[in-house]
Chains A and B, each alone.
Chain A
Amino acid sequence: MTWEIGEEIVKKILEKAPYAEGRVRRERRLEFKIPAERIREFLMIMKENNFPLMLQISAVDWVRDGEIELVYHLMNIELGTHAMVKVRIPRDLDKAKMPTVRDIYPAAETYERDVHDFFGVYFEGNDKMEMPWILDDPERGLYPHRKDFDMLGYVKKKYKILDRFDENKDKYVI
């Protein structure tokens, strides 16, 4: 399905940012893929092109690829159009770093702290990164939303229960 207004917006943005890939997913939904180091530049272009609102930064952990995908969700209120800006960064803790976009979209501050707490991506330049946020002390530094986090092992260790975690049973009864 084509959506002409969307095609126009994508074309206009891609002219200014030739390094990006962009397409119309469906009506009112655009998708861009860009290299991680161009994110600030690209978000500035997006903001100038009438995407003034950041809804969320979500993260997807691709264990097999060894990458974390960050999705910046932007909104154009006039057209009700939702744009996703996707970047991929390595998932090793020392390499999972991104520049902050807090000065472009102030709302990004909390989303960046979320992603840092749960996925361990470090946003350079956001000075609240190290502060306590959602997770409590014992969980901080474990990144519980990463796919390779050993959830059951952690639960057993922490709460010291129950026969429902018995490994010899093949079905857990909830």
Chain B
Amino acid sequence: MVDWRLFEPLFNWARKKSLWIVSFCTGCGGIEMPPLMTSRYDIERFGIIPDPSPRQYDLFLITGYVTPKTLKRIIITYEMAPDPKWVLAHGSCPLNGGVYWDSYNAIKHLDKYIPVDVFIAGCMPRPEAVLDGIHKLMEMIESGEADGWKRYRENYEWYRKNQDELLGKGWREKEARKWIPWLVDKKKEVKE
């Protein structure tokens, strides 16, 4: 039997060199993605690619403010991904609400609902700042500091409690049930 834990440093090195980003731009920071991906900053040279599938990614960029409605999708997308996975939050909005601190519909602490490994401050952060954040995350991955996915598993009860408090109990099922009839038969729309 091989003890695979022996190879963990090698795996971590490989993981940091091949981050895949899920294509889910949640807020205004999403506008920093095009220069980041294209020839100006070209993050593909670090082995980073945007990936439309939530089942293969390992880096989740929360690019800006998060509304409760988006938060539902974020949590579901986050939980779909295999471990290990990392979250990098852009801008002041996920940190503390940013300019939307008194808005009825923007969450104030992203960290209460899903674990965040690296925060980038600023409104909005330039692509250089995002690059810097990604570099920081790479270092953290190599040294094993970026352990959000572990924290999420260990403290699942706490995260779950916060999510349910904000979104209401049973929101996953309710959300699914709300939209399925609409997709299946447009005549039988649910009034709820």
Contact = CB atoms under 8 A, between A and B. Distances in A.
A154 B108 CA distance: 13
Interface stretch (A19-27, A54-62, A131-139): A131-139
B68 A151 contact: no
Contacts of A155: 102-104
B189 A131 contact: yes
Interface in B141-192: 166, 168, 174, 178, 182, 189, 191-192
A158 B166 contact: yes
Interface string B94-107: 00100101111101
A117 to B, nearest CB: 11
Interface in A92-143: 128, 130-132, 135-139, 142
A136 B104 contact: no
A174 B104 contact: no
Q: Size range of the interface on B?
A: 20 to 34
Nearest to A159: B108
B73 to A, nearest CB: 11
A174 B101 CA distance: 8
B99 A174 contact: yes
A139 B69 CA distance: 11
A161 B178 contact: no
Contacts, number: 43
A139 B104 contact: yes
Contacts of B68: 136, 138
A131 B108 contact: no
A138 B101 contact: no
Contacts of B105: 135-136, 139, 144
Give chain A's interface secondary structure class: loop
A164 interface: yes
Contacts of B67: 136
* Most chain B C-beta atoms within 10 Å of own C-beta, residue among A135, A139, A155: A155
A135 B192 CA distance: 12
A144 B189 contact: no
Contact of A158 (B101, B104, B109, B178): B104
A152 interface: yes
B104 A144 contact: yes
B31 to A, nearest CB: 21
Contacts of B178: 132
B133 to A, nearest CB: 22
Interface string B13-41: 00000000000000000000000000000
9 contacts: A131-B189, A135-B105, A138-B68, A142-B104, A149-B104, A155-B103, A155-B104, A159-B166, A164-B101
Interface of A: 128, 130-132, 135-139, 142, 144, 149, 151-152, 154-155, 158-159, 161-162, 164, 174
Q: Which 4 A-B pairs have the closest CB atoms?
A: A136-B69, A130-B191, A144-B104, A154-B104
Given A151-B103, A155-B103, 10 more contacts: A128-B189, A136-B67, A137-B174, A154-B104, A155-B104, A158-B166, A161-B108, A161-B109, A162-B96, A174-B99
